[in-house]
Structure 1
Amino acid sequence: MSLSSLLQSCIQQTKETLISMVDIDGHGHRLVHLDLKGAPPRVNYYEQLFPLIRSFGATGLLIEYEDMFPYHGKLKHLQALNAYTPDDIAKLHSMAEVNNLIVIPLVQTFGHFEYVLKHDENRALREVEHYPNALCPTHPDAFPLVTKLITQVLELHPKDKHLHIGADEVWHIGRCLRCQDEMESHKITTNDLFLMWVLRLAKWIKAKYPHLTLIMWDDMMRQIPLEKLLSSGIGEVVEPMIWQYHAKKFEFPPDLFSRYGTVFDGLWVASAFKGATGSTQFLPPIQHHINNHLTWITTLAEHKHQFKKYRGICITGWQRYDHYAVLCELLPVGIPSLCLCLRVLTHESFTETDHDSVSQQLGFSHRINVIPFPRPQVIEQGMQFPGYRVYIGVQMWSNFVCKYQAISNSEGMLGWFSDYQRSKNFTNPVQVESIMKPLQEVLQNLTELRSHFIPWLLEIFYEDTVEEWVGSFIDPLLEKLSQVIEECRKQINIGGRVKNYKKIES
């Protein structure tokens, strides 16, 4: 081996040692979740994002591709139009490695399977024919399909040491006739059916990829008795990731940690920095997420000793609640929340010093506003973090929405411009003119924002994301404003006439 090759090998070993030490030093990993089933960033955005999150203490990534993965062959129909390429994923790994971030792919294998089951080619594999949420575990084509998904993903993740198999919120398990016949003939419950599927899949993965540590969401196991978990052997093949996104009170079964600690050697948990407080949320309530992490710190201090190994925490950032839901907080809008939450985890507290330090590092001249509502609020302009223009644009949009709502609920609108009054063309032009002026101002402001915001979005996102966000949030408001202003003009031109009464039929 040449001297340069030997040196490179030593550097690589040192990196791997440093990364693995994080997993065993008692503090565990701090993973950042990338939910790509909505608003997936262009790959070059990660060049800015990864150094930032590493500087705040992140040690890895949990990447949930869904249809952004470049499936091929008989799975090619699963790809989104802008799916990442194999070269993109290689580049993503390279950027992660440079920043000492481990990569863990997440492949849904049971529930939240919409990105597969929405296609006609896979419709027969639904647990409930009309619902695309859950896979039928007894369908003969289900297991071959899922193993193909996993095989293709792992082909592009050959060096990764973990795989997350999802398996959360399998709401409709045991509903199809085939599954009911299976349960009846073997005298088993839906809990048994769930464990049977996960075990079959996990054992297959472990046999083919023995170097992998498997992780799964825990919620479907929360009510399963200890004896059943132990007898199933589930603890020998997977590790649970316990998720909870509430701010201060975690609603777990009282014996959850002791039960899991008896069954599983390793423990993962999951918090949230965005996407967990409402499916239509557009600005993360940062104080809620800070409190969520503080509560996790307290909870772990009380319970993690019940496990042989505490693996770490994943800070989730959901981009939509399921494959069909609207977009919630965009990733750049959540960056201040993410960095504050990472600071909470690394310092195990949240002080004024922590708040000031993170704010200054992200370029805020004042403290980051951790309580974004009510609106409107003053918006800073001079930040310097990846995607800050999108952050500013969403803040501005939310202010304009607030102004529109205030006008719509004003005394002038409700008292002189109601639906009934307009239907009778019985309005006072003096009042209508006072209503129209602020509406025109909001329309002008929003139109101007749209012209700037689209290029800002396109710097980070693909065209379909920009079309969806603008089409979901900005354009409908522009249309409403235009319609109301046009009605104002109509009523002003009518000029305060006598109301025409219509006899009510008895």
Structure 2
Amino acid sequence: MEDVNFPQRLVHVDLKGAPPRMNYYEQIFPIIASMGATGLLVEYEDMFPYHGRFSHLRAPHAYSSEDIAALHTLAATYNLSIIPLIQTFGHFEFILKHDEHRPIREIEHYPNALCPTHPDSFPLVTKLITQVLELHTSDKFLHIGADEVWHIGKCPRCQDYMEDKKMSISEFFLAWMFKVAWWVKKQHPHLTIIMWDDMMRNVTADVLKSSGIGELVEPMVWQYQTANFDLPSDIFSRYSSIFKGLWTASAFKGATGSTQFLPPIQHHINNQLTWKRVLSENKGEIKNFRGIALTGWQRYDHYAVLCELLPVALPSLCLCLRVLTQGSFTESDHDYVSQALGFPHRINVLPFPRPQVVEQGANFPGHKVYVGVQMWSNFVCKYQAISNSEGMLGWFSDYLRSRNFTNPVQVENIMSQVNEVAENLSELRTHLIPWLLEVVYEDTVEEWVGSFIDPLLKKLTSVIEECKTQIMIGGRVRDYKKSDY
């Protein structure tokens, strides 16, 4: 099998959840550069300092223009290029959630995709692109998104337009992307435009050619599986006959579940290895391979909960970069990355099932958050084990408690176990908040704690209070008077 090189190895920085503080970039850039990263694919979403009539799009801790300038300077220090990513069709939630932009939704009730035939859509998209590119004047690439446009051609205006032009959904999609890309090329001819490929993955070569999109963009083929990629057999030959360049995308986090909290590292290592194999097998079909982006999704969409935090996934990222630079994953590769991140042992690439021994002793940036999330996951598993235990199910069921017919001997044992988890979790909360604040902003800390720690603490407290009530009652005669029949 002929080997394949990855000319560009981009680290995707997804800012639509848990955006890092600027000083965290200072800590991790030298690490990821030393591991083989060549650039950053920065998906700003609401973290960009939009101004004027778009000021309302900014998150509370959005980066300033000075921050973005500093990001460029810092990246250049470590020979990292920056590619901004702006969604221009689907995943438009951070804009369409605002009432003033509700009219340009494709489906009025859903904030996912814009309506390409609405007269305000194109001016809005071009103004957003203009503001972003004003702070990226030295960059050579622009990613215009366009993945997972599930709601397309649904509104009456779009349906009338397609019927009038005799267009299929695919042709309609390509027409909008051509319009956006044409405008970008006209205004910024030096830019190479990239877009996600999934919406045109099954479009025929004839339709792609007739759309003209091949002269304007380069597709980024994403796939996060670990064995056999779900890709059309002719995708590489077809794309190479249409487009001037080709990119791929793997994942180092955020691709194995919307509520994932620890990255299954071996899965992501295997994803990189599979990409290497697939590209090697198709090397003869691929012309002008640009490189790969290691995606690190922070939410599945703007409304979803946070998945793996960046500090928790830094070991996964470094191991995946090592795979791409070395072309394999050996024990020496494992040792190299583990030692570079300060682990006194090999990084655990199989963190599930939980609970497991918490990996401590590392000293990479954000390692305390890495430890804290592992501890939290163990406490969750311990509570789940108690909830499903013979004691809880056999002596503390909803039915028995509703009749106040419980044995204090068993209840005291249950309360002791639950109380231990509650105390440990409460103590972790006090430590984890300042650990998180070293890396992310206050609103992210509030969300993570409010999503994952506080609900469990509330549940544990409720069980403890019920235990106290049942112990006070103390082994009563069964109440036969309460009946649901």
TM surpasses 0.5? yes
How do 1:400-439 and structure 2 match up within 5 A? 400-439=379-418
- 1:29, 1:59 within 8 Å by CA — same for their partners in 2? yes
Query: In 1, Cα distance between the equivalents of 2:399 and 2:290?
Result: 62
- Stretch moving more, 378-387 or 280-289: 378-387
Pick the aligned partner of 1:243 from 212, 222, 240: 222
Quote how far apart the aligned CAs of 1:185 are. 1.1
In 1, the alpha carbon distance for the partners of 2:365 and 2:227 equals 30
Letter in 2 for 1:263: I
Map Cα deviations across residues 25-69 of structure 1 (whole Å, 9 max, x no partner): 953100000000000011111001111000000000000000000
TM-score, normalised by the number of residues in structure 2:
0.98
Shift of the 499–487 alpha-carbon distance from structure 1 to 2, 3 Å rule, reads same
Q: C-alpha deviations, 1:349-384, integer Å up to 9, x for none? A: 011111111111111111111111111111232111
| 8 Å CA contact 1:34, 1:61 repeated in 2 | yes
CA contact (8 A) 2:214 2:243 kept: yes
User: Which residue number corresponds to residue 148 of structure 1?
Assistant: 127
Query: How far 1:233 moved relative to its partner?
Result: 1.3
User: 2:176 maps to what in 1?
Assistant: 197
User: 1:217, CA displacement in angstroms?
Assistant: 0.1
Tell me what 1:476 maps to.
Answer: 455
Match of 2:309 in 1: 330
What does 1:2-13 correspond to in 2, within 5 Å? none
- Of 262, 268, 272, 1:283 maps to 262
Distance 1:185 1:502, change over 3 A: farther
Deviation, 1:305, is: 3.4
Q: Which residue of 1 aligns with 2:58?
A: 79
In structure 2, do the counterparts of structure 1 residues 226 and 240 end up closer, same or farther at CA, with 3 Å as the change threshold? Answer: same
Q: Which amino acid aligns with 2:353?
A: P
User: 1: distance between equivalents of 2:454 and 2:358?
Assistant: 22
Does residue 95 (structure 1) correspond to residue 79 (structure 2)? The answer is no
Aligned residue in 2 for 1:462? 441
For residue 313 of structure 1, the aligned residue among 286, 292, 296 is: 292
Q: Report deviation, 1:73.
A: 0.6
Aligned pairs for 1:141-180 within 5 A: 141-180=120-159
Q: Is the 8 A contact 1:108 1:166 kept in 2?
A: yes
Aligned to 2:213: 234
The answer as to whether partners of 2:61 and 2:441 remain within 8 angstroms in 1 is yes
C-alpha deviation, 1:189, in angstroms: 1.1
Write the distance in 1 (CA, Å) between the matches of 2:413 and 2:484: 36
From 165, 182, 197, the equivalent of 1:218 is 197
- In 1, Cα distance between equivalents of 2:364 and 2:446: 24
Superposed displacement of residue 505, structure 1? 6.2
| Equivalent position of 2:344 in the other structure | 365
Say whether the 8 Å CA contact 1:264–1:307 is kept in structure 2: no
Given candidates 18, 21, 25, the residue that maps to 1:42 is: 21
Deviations 1:161-215 (A, max 9, x none): 0000000000010000110010111111111110110001101100100000000
| One-letter amino acid matched to 2:164 | S
| Rounded Cα–Cα distance in structure 2 between residues aligned with 1:306 and 1:108 | 29
d(CA) in 2 for partners of 1:115, 1:352: 43
Kindly indicate whether residue 426 of structure 2 is the aligned counterpart of residue 447 of structure 1.
yes
What does 1:180-195 correspond to in 2, within 5 Å? 180-195=159-174
Aligned to 2:238: 259
| SS state at 1:192 partner | helix
Q: Distance in 2 between matches of 1:72 and 1:221?
A: 33
1:15 counterpart residue number: none
Deviation per CA, 1:52-96, whole angstroms, max 9, x where unpaired?
000000000000000000000111111111100000000000000
TM, length-normalised to structure 1: 0.94
SS of aligned partner of 1:241 = strand
Question: What is the CA–CA distance in structure 2 between the aligned matches of 1:308 and 1:223, rounded to whole Å?
Answer: 19
Task: Specify every segment of 5 or more residues in structure 2 that has no aligned partner in the other structure, as ranges.
Answer: none
2: CA distance between counterparts of 1:344 and 1:143?
Answer: 41
Relative to structure 1, is the Cα distance of residues 304 and 113 closer, same or farther in structure 2, using a 3 angstrom cutoff?
Answer: farther
Matched, 1:56 2:10: no
Contact kept? 2:142, 2:193, Cα under 8 Å: yes
Is residue 403–residue 482 contact of structure 2 (8 Å, CA) maintained in 1?
Answer: no
Whole-Å Cα distance in 1 between the matches of residues 164 and 18 of structure 2? 45
Residues of 1 paired with 2:122 and 2:348: CA distance? 48
Q: Which amino acid aligns with 1:285?
A: P
SS at 2:463 equivalent: helix
Q: Does the alignment pair 1:394 with 2:387? A: no
Whole-Å Cα distance in 2 between the matches of residues 84 and 248 of structure 1? 39
Q: Cα–Cα, structure 1 residues 304 and 127, in superposed 2: closer, same or farther, change >3 Å?
A: farther
Partner SS, residue 13 of structure 2: strand
Deviations 1:482-502 (A, max 9, x none): 000010010000001012124
Tell me what 1:208 maps to: 187
Check the 8 A contact 2:436/2:445 in 1, yes or no.
Answer: yes
Query: In 2, Cα distance between the equivalents of 1:201 and 1:348?
Result: 37
Aligned AA for 2:205?
L
| CA–CA separation in structure 1 for the residues paired with 2:130 and 2:365 | 33
For 1:127, what is the secondary structure of its paired residue? coil
| Contact in 2 for aligned 1:304/1:310 (Cα 8 Å) | no
Which deviates more from structure 2 when the two are superposed, residues 361-370 or residues 150-159? 361-370
Name the SS for the 1:30 alignment partner: strand
Aligned alpha-carbon RMSD (Å): 1.0
**Identity score, percent:** 72
- Distance in structure 2 (CA, Å) of the matches to 1:109 and 1:43: 26
Q: CA deviation at 1:503?
A: 6.2
CA displacement at 1:230 relative to structure 2: 1.1
Q: What is the letter of the counterpart of residue 198 of structure 1?
A: M
Distance 1:33 1:353 in 2: 26
Contact residue 267 and residue 304 of structure 1 kept, 8 A: no
CA distance in 1, matches of 2:7, 2:89: 27
Deviation at 1:338, TM superposition (A): 0.3
After TM superposition, the structure 1 stretch with the greater mean CA deviation from structure 2, 373-382 or 192-201, is 373-382
Q: Deviations over 1:3-33 (max 9, x none)?
A: xxxxxxxxxxxxxxxxxxxxxx953100000
SS of the residue corresponding to residue 282 of structure 2 reads: helix
Q: Which 5+ residue runs of structure 1 have no aligned equivalent?
A: 1-24
1:497 to 476, 479, 483: 476
1:132 alignment partner, SS class: coil
Count of residues paired in the alignment: 482
**Structure 1 residue matching 2:42: 3-state secondary structure:** strand
| 1:339–1:358 contact (8 Å) kept in structure 2 | yes
Shift in Å, 1:253:
1.3
- CA drift at 1:302: 1.7
